[in-house]
Structure 1
C-alpha cells in the first residue's frame, strides 16, 4: 500500500482530495497537513511514500518546502497539486524532482490517472530488479511505445485475454498453461507472451529441470 500525505491549506479541498485517493486502489491517505510546519512534522512522523503538495501555503512556498520534506524522508516522492499556472513555477517544480504537476481544479479521473501512472511506472523501479531496462525508464517518463504492431497472426482481442490470464494468476505461467486456458496452441501463446515481455510488461523466470529450462512469465510488480 502506498502511503500518501496531503498538504493543502484548504481543509475542504484536502478532504475532497483524500476521498479521490482513497478510491484509488493501492493508495492510503495516512495524514493531512495544512501548513508547511505541519507537513514537516507529519512527514517525519508518518514517513509517507508520496506527498500531494499544494504550492500556496500560509507559512512557506510549497516548492521551498520540498527539500525540507525530503530531509525528513529522503525517499519521498512529490506530486504537486496547485492552481499556480506560471511557467517559471512549473519549471522550478520540475527541477525539484516532482513526479507530476496537476493544475487545480481537476477531476477524480485526472488525479487517479496520475496516481496509477506513479504506481505502475515509478514503483516498478523499486522491485527486486537491480538493473533497469530502457522500457522501465520509458514508463517513468511517459514514453511507452504504444504503436508497435502485434506479431503477424496476432490480434488485440487475444492479447487482452493473455493479459487477463496473467493478472488473474496466483503466480507465474508458462506458455503451455496460457495455451490451455485460452484454447490456443503453445506456439501462439508464447508469441503473445514474448511480445509482452519485449514491451517491458512481463518478467521471465526460468524453471530448471530435465532438458532446457522452462520460461515462465509474470506481470512486473506482481
Structure 2
C-alpha cells in the first residue's frame, strides 16, 4: 500500500509543526500539508485530497466538529484539548476514527496511526464482501478463541501472547522463542495459533533475496 497522506489541522502554527513531525516519523505516513483554520482545512482537503485529517476542535473561525461534518467520506483523527463528554460523543457520531486528548506524546500518536493503518490493511485484505468475523475484528468485537491444537497448552500460549504484547513491535519466531524460553518451532506454533484466533497478525518482511521472514505483531 502507498503511504497514508495526512493533513494536519491546528490553529497553533508551532503545534501543527510538532504534530507534523510526529506523523513524519511513523513509517507508512507522510504529511500532505497543514491548515490553521476551518476554512483553510476545507480548502486544503479539496486541493490535496489527503487520506487522513488530524483535526483540532478549537479553531479560530469554526469548531472542528463543524469541519468534521463537512468531511464526509474522509477519515478524521481528532486531536484536541477538549475532553468533555459531549464533544467526544459528537466526534464519534461524526465519524472520527479516533480521538486523542492534548497534550500527547509522539508514541501515543504513532500508536493511533498504526491502528489506523492496520484497519486500512484489513479492509484491503477482506475484498468485496465481509464475513461476520471480518466485521467483528474491524469493530473490535471480542472474538471467540479458536480451540488450542493438540500439544499446545493455555499457560504457554498466555506466555507467548504476553511476550508479543509487551514487545510493542513485530517479532520473529526466533525472537519470541528467546523471550519465552521455548524452542523456535514451539514458539512458531503458538504464534500461528494467535494469528488464527485473531489476536496477532503475520507480517512478512521482504529482504534482498530469498523467502520473506515471517514476523508476528500483537493485535489483542
Structure 2 unaligned runs (5+)? 165-169, 174-182, 203-213
What's the C-alpha RMSD, in Å, of the aligned pairs?
Answer: 3.5
State the Cα deviation string for residues 91-119 of structure 1 (Å, max 9, x = none).
11110011011111111111111111111
Q: What is the distance in 1 between the residues matched to 2:20 and 2:199? A: 32
What TM-score do the two structures reach when normalised by structure 2?
A: 0.69
Does the alignment pair 1:81 with 2:79?
Answer: yes
Q: In 2 relative to 1, CA 87–202 (structure 1 residues): closer, same or farther, beyond 3 Å?
A: closer
Partner of 2:115: 117
CA contact 1:2–1:26 (8 Å) conserved in 2? yes
TM superposition shift of 1:132: 2.3
Structure 1 segments (4+ residues) deviating >6 Å: 146-149, 157-160, 188-191
Q: In 2 relative to 1, CA 194–11 (structure 1 residues): closer, same or farther, beyond 3 Å?
A: same
Does the alignment pair 1:164 with 2:172?
Answer: yes
| Count of residue pairs brought into register by the alignment | 185
What TM-score do the two structures reach when normalised by structure 1?
A: 0.68
CA contact 1:78–1:98 (8 Å) conserved in 2? yes
Partner of 1:213: none
After superposition, residues 25-44 of structure 1 pair within 5 angstroms as 25-44=27-46
Structure 1 unaligned runs (5+)? 166-181, 204-216
After superposition, residues 132-171 of structure 1 pair within 5 angstroms as 132-143=130-141, 145=143, 151=149, 152-153=151-152, 164=172
Q: Which has the larger radius of gyration?
A: 1
